[in-house]
Amino acid sequence: MALRTIESLGDLAGKRVILRCDLNVPLSDGQVTDDGRIRASLPTINALVHRGAKVIVISHLGRPDGAPDARYSLRPAAQRLSELLGAPVTFATDTVGDAAREAVDGLADGAVAVLENLRFSADETSKNPDDRARFAARLAELGDVMVSDGFGVVHRKQASVYELAEVLPSAAGSLIATELDVLDRLTENPERPYTVVLGGSKVSDKLGVIAHLLPRVDRLLIGGGMLFTFLKAQGKAIGASLLEDDQLDTVRGYLAEAEKRGVEIVLPTDVVVADRFAADAEHSVLAADRLEDGPAGAAGIGLDIGPDTAQRFAELIASSRTVFWNGPMGVFEFPAFAAGTQAVAAALTRLDGLGVVGGGDSAAAVRALGFRDDQFGHVSTGGGASLEFLEGKALPGLEVLGW
């Protein structure tokens, strides 16, 4: 079967379209601090508006534990969406209650409403399918058809993602279609050389991706906190840096498998080591095999790849035709330890080929460091969903749409 698209839903003029977006954006003092996911939802929202649909946007935000919590209200996201659309957006203060019904009943053709956080109901994420089905049925009463466009949640079997798409005629929006097209290019006949850059804190978060991509890539560049488990697996001392002891044998297996397949695993040759985990920590650059030689001694904590490594990674990215990057190279939130992530991002903007920023912390990092989404080939909206796709896992939110 092929993924169902909006065209399969027929004429949408005057119809109530429940649009599952991913508006799970960071907030500070009631303001959206990164509107990337809201911007990513605009093409589908605008397409539905232009078709004369009554657009009912639903989403989650954060983890409010199944009860209303003002800290996780979608109101700021709805306000930002209104600004980006240049049109009023009605906000309902509940999801399936009187406020939601009133908001939907008052919608004109081509108008948009946002309902309150789906996760204010415990049934949205319940492990019991009967609970989810009950919540999906109440949501379905508000609409005629459903469009799924929250790529960041398609790996979750949740009421608004899975059961709702079973209850109503459903299809994928343009964001999901774009994400799948890009991910397909990363797994099926990618242009070579094909380089994957992996960072973030834990090897365990990337095990499936490494295993699935090793037969497909030419190079694997390792940064972030996970690099220290790789260094330790090679017998190097790592001071007080992050280590997953239980993954050492797995990493040794990957190193052996890569050598057998002719895949180059590139590890840092130098590391920025600090005396403590803090923005103002004393730090120095040490060779990757001498991490305990600095003034901090054995207490040294690696918080970024070093400048030589950053330059090498940038050169390897520049010589590639396809690059997938997931996970920052260091603690980019601290300016003193952001240079590695900055170098990788800058190299990706200059790539002559397809460069993909794999969502999650990577997307947050490039925006925090001043890069624009349009400087990259693609910035994914779904870190976890992207990784699970690249692991070869089935994604329930796509299967229910015919994928």
187 and 122 within one domain: no
What phi, psi does 197 have (nearest 5°)? -110, 120
Strand 270-274 relative to strand 264-266, pairing: unpaired
333 and 190 within one domain: yes
State how many domains the chain has.
2
**pLDDT for res 264:** 96
- Burial of 11 by CB count in 10 Å (0-12 exposed, 13-18 middle, 19+ buried)? exposed
CATH label of the domain that carries residue 155:
3.40.50.1260
> Mind telling me the catalytic residues?
37, 202, 360, 384
217 and 70 within one domain: no
Query: Can you give the pLDDT of all 403 residues of the chain as single tens digits?
Result: 589 999 999 999 999 999 999 999 999 999 999 999 999 999 999 999 999 999 999 999 999 999 999 999 999 999 999 999 999 999 999 999 999 999 999 999 999 999 999 999 999 999 999 999 999 999 999 999 999 999 999 999 999 999 999 999 999 999 999 999 998 899 888 999 999 999 988 888 888 889 989 999 999 999 999 999 999 999 998 988 888 999 999 999 999 999 999 999 999 999 999 988 999 999 999 999 888 765 544 458 999 999 999 999 999 999 999 999 999 999 999 999 999 999 999 999 999 999 999 877 888 899 999 999 999 999 998 878 888 888 888 899 999 999 8
Q: Which residues are annotated as a binding site for ATP?
A: 206, 302, 333, 359-362
Cβ 70 vs Cβ 85: under 8 Å: no
Cβ 155 vs Cβ 384: under 8 Å: yes
Q: Distance between CA 368 and CA 171 in Å, rounded? A: 33
Q: Distance between CA 154 and CA 144 in Å, rounded? A: 21
Exposure class string for 38-49: b at 16+ Cβ within 10 A, else e: bebbbebbbbbb
Q: Which residues are annotated as a binding site for substrate?
A: 22-24, 37, 60-63, 119, 156
344 and 200 within one domain: yes
Write the CA distances from 355 to 24, 324, 360, integer angstroms. Answer: 24, 6, 16
**pLDDT for res 298:** 47
Cβ 115 vs Cβ 103: under 8 Å: yes
| Contacting residues for 244 by C-beta, under 8 A, at least 6 apart | 202, 203, 204, 226, 229
Q: Which residues are annotated as a binding site for (2R)-3-phosphoglycerate?
A: 37, 119, 156
253 and 201 within one domain: yes
Q: Which domain holds residue 373?
A: 183-391
